[in-house]
A and B are shown apart, each in its own frame.
Chain A
Amino acid sequence: MGKNYNRFFPVVLIIPAVALVLFLVVFPLIWALGLSFYSYNALRGQPPVFTGLANYERLLNSLDIWRRFVTTGQFVFLSVLLEFIIGFGLAFLFHSRFKGRQLAITLVTTPLLVAPVAVGIFHRYLFDATFGIYTYFTEMLTGFEVKFLTNYPMLAIILMDVWQWSPFMMLFILAGLEAIPKYMTETALIDKLSITNKFRYVIWPTIKPLVALALLFRTMDAFRTFDTIFTLTGGGPGVSTEVLSITIYRIAFQFFRTGEAAALAFIFLIIIILLTNIYLRLARRE
């Protein structure tokens, strides 16, 4: 009894979790994969028609879809890069002790708590070319009337993302900085290491795993950004800020070309998995 109990009890314990994952993640994923080989409109009420790889063929041959990949790539690269730089700066700032540090950290991390839809909506007001406060200050500083959402829409969505997610980078890097053993910094001081060498030999090796993790999380998250961009620009002007997640949403829930949307989602998923693997391999090699 004791032997069997020891063998089966852990299995019994994980059954609910495994069942949930199977029913809510694996099964829908397999179902969606199957659907991607069909021509199916969920709203028309007609049976799906098997079309093989036609959906994939059409999407991969579509210039519009490749343009969306480029737009998504631009957005992800630029916003994650800026978030990394700003997060790095903030982390170093908050690594030093000063009065009101805790309060400042709390305030800086507040954007992380705001719902993405709200972020999009209030940035629409901030960037508004007639009444917006960003527009007002930009005009005051430069003397030019800047229409962010019309003339610099990509900059607008990147700035919004940077506003919300730089603190995330900061938290990871700050955690890394705080984890540097005191004796190492003291040794660096005794050895009179230059700032560059201190960073290269003391700081960077300690914070590197956390930076890699933060970059990985942010990159994956930025790829699937939807709500903030959708509420700020709706993908416009024209389609200049339409990232892939918005395209998938439109095909799935506005055009109801369900099979095609499933195919595009899988293409997107495969690309993200590939990028993640390349990323992890590079991080490991480092």
Chain B
Amino acid sequence: MKNMKISRRKALSTTAKVATAAAITGIVGGIAGYLAGSTGTPQAGETVTRTVRETITQTVGGAGTQTVTQTVTRTITASTPTEVKPELSITFASPEWLPGRLTGLIAKDFTTWSKANIGKAVEVKMDLIPWDAIFDRLSTTLAAKSKEPTLLISDSQWLGQFYTGGHIRRLNDIIERDPELQQLINRFDESLIYFYMTFPQGNKNNIVGFAHEGDVLLFAYREDLFTHPAERENFKAKYGYDLPQRYEDWYPAQLDWYQIRDIAEYFTRKAGDELAGRRLEQDFYGIALHMSKAYDSIACPFGTLLYVHGEYWWDPETGQVDGYINSPRAKQALEFYKSLIKYSPPNALEIWFDEANSVMQAGRVAMIYNWAGFLPSLFDPTASKVYNVVKVVPPPGHKGQDGIFRRYSNIGGQPMCINAYSEHAQEALAFIKYWFLPENQKKWAEGGGGVCIKDIVQTNWFRTLTPYNRAYADSISFQVDFWNVPFFFEMLTAVQEEIHSALAGTTDPAIALDNLARRHREIVEREKYPTAFQQYGKPAKNVAELIRRGLPIG
């Protein structure tokens, strides 16, 4: 090292050489980049086709189990977005899934539209966040009073927490001043306004979001099995009634969840048994529905069963819990939910949307109860062994001991909200108007998005566009949600933990619901609900009362 002496001249000379080389590389790279960019830029007025790629990690069963990652592609057509140079960028935070990517594609044309309609070229940049992390990311970002994202997707149950914390904007004043937005409000189904757009639920004095991605839980079943003559005959001989065969046998017919259990029992077979004239090489299961501990995986299907048994989580007006979630009807609902495990795949307690799809795609289950938003991959020949024999229908109901047939299902889906700290609320509102333009809603529907505008949803065009749109359209009216109060996550976690314990057999179902009621009561008392939240008004209707009486919510 001592011998390594470098003269000042040599050092300067070397530095100059390095700088010159870097400058030349930069210039050459810049020219190349410019040329490459120019070649790739579509000309004005040209129509470009963009592809949304949905990656599905699919587990293919068999003797040698393997995990295969497959890519499903959807194509939507959009006009050239590059005519106008953006003057302003706003961020739209969304879950990282097909609707999020599709939103990004539709948003590309907003720059041109905004220049023409609000006089400012605004670019909407998507911030796609995995589902597992989005609540944490958004809540911490909003707690830090960050100005971006300007627009954000909020799961319906987050609305109370975000709104009471002052993080998302109340939109009533803006809507009152804008006839276009007033008209838009009238185009949503009442149940979507109730559960996606207001806090407290249904209270139109606080509109805090616009329905973006509609989603409902639907039944997907194997039509080839349900219509097989021998299976139909054997089923009728055993249970005394017919297997549902047509869409109308599921809806509007009053198919009962207890019949679903019969069907699940009937189709549960062992390897070596015969199914629809073929010898089974592997075990076959009757039903797969969500029972995993993750997020709201249990709360949604159990919510459905609770409602069809004539019960609700609590009294949303008084916050009373006892006599609701631990009532005999609730206990019956949980016993029923647990009884389905016998006819489910062995991984029943880990099943969420992905696992339910996997077992159907592998051709090893007769029915699944899953989110419409995740059903497209069932119809993809590259991902599903049964892509051509799956039908989608609305969920069944249940006729209680009081003789009332109740058909309710727990809603999914999300609204889009405006960040209260953003300085670009006007641009965000412009985007909302742009989003609901008929041509964009058409693109949204064609790409597989859950349209929330009722005059589109009820058209024949929409209902026949995908294998699941008809069931989605028919199901919107009987959707119900759980609490969207600021302390929802604690309520939700208690549900997931207690009911998962009951399903796993570590707690008796009745005790689990008593524990749940105790935990919920402690949370409600600590939070001083509803007194501490009176300033926000109260829910528009008493959902618990309506469900008990078997009346519609919307």
Residues of A participating in the B interface, judged by any CB pair closer than 8 Å: 42-45, 124-125, 128-133, 135-136, 145, 147, 149-150, 233-240, 250, 253-256
Contact = CB atoms under 8 A, between A and B. Distances in A.
A131 B501 contact: no
Nearest to B341: A150
B68 to A, nearest CB: 11
Top 8 closest pairs, chain A to chain B, by CB: A238-B501, A236-B293, A129-B346, A237-B504, A129-B347, A130-B345, A131-B59, A130-B347
20 contacts: A43-B161, A43-B486, A45-B143, A128-B347, A129-B347, A129-B350, A130-B59, A130-B61, A131-B60, A131-B65, A132-B65, A147-B349, A149-B349, A150-B348, A234-B292, A236-B293, A237-B349, A238-B498, A240-B501, A253-B139
Contacts of B143: 42-43, 45, 256
Given A43-B165, A150-B349, A236 B497 contact: yes
Contact of B140 (A132, A147, A253): A253
A45 to B, nearest CB: 5
What range describes how many residues of B lie at the interface? 35 or more
Nearest to B297: A234
Given A43-B143, A239-B501, A128 B135 contact: no
A129 B292 CA distance: 13
B383 to A, nearest CB: 15
Contacts of B364: 130
Contact of B486 (A44, A133, A239): A44
Given A131-B347, A133-B65, A135-B346, 10 more contacts: A43-B139, A128-B347, A131-B59, A131-B362, A136-B65, A236-B349, A236-B497, A236-B504, A240-B504, A255-B489
A157 B498 CA distance: 21
Contacts of A150: 348-350, 504
Contacts of B506: 237-238, 240
Interface in B133-164: 135-136, 139-140, 142-143, 161, 164
Contacts of A125: 59, 67
B533 to A, nearest CB: 11
Contacts of B67: 125
A238 B164 contact: no
Contact of A147 (B139, B293, B347, B487): B347
A131 B61 contact: yes
Given A128-B350, A253-B139, A44 B293 contact: no
B507 interface: yes
A45 B165 contact: yes
B201 interface: no
Contacts of A130: 59, 61, 345-347, 355, 359, 364
A229 B129 CA distance: 21
A58 B345 CA distance: 41
Contacts of B503: 237
Interface string B266-299: 0000000000000000000000000011100000
B493 A254 contact: yes
Nearest to A146: B346
Contacts of B164: 44
Contacts of B165: 43-45
Interface in B172-214: none
Contacts of B166: 45
Contacts of B136: 253-254
Interface in B202-234: none
A35 B377 CA distance: 48
B490 interface: yes
A277 B233 CA distance: 73
A238 B507 contact: yes
B500 interface: yes
Contacts of A238: 293, 497-498, 500-501, 504, 506-507
A90 to B, nearest CB: 27
B500 A237 contact: yes
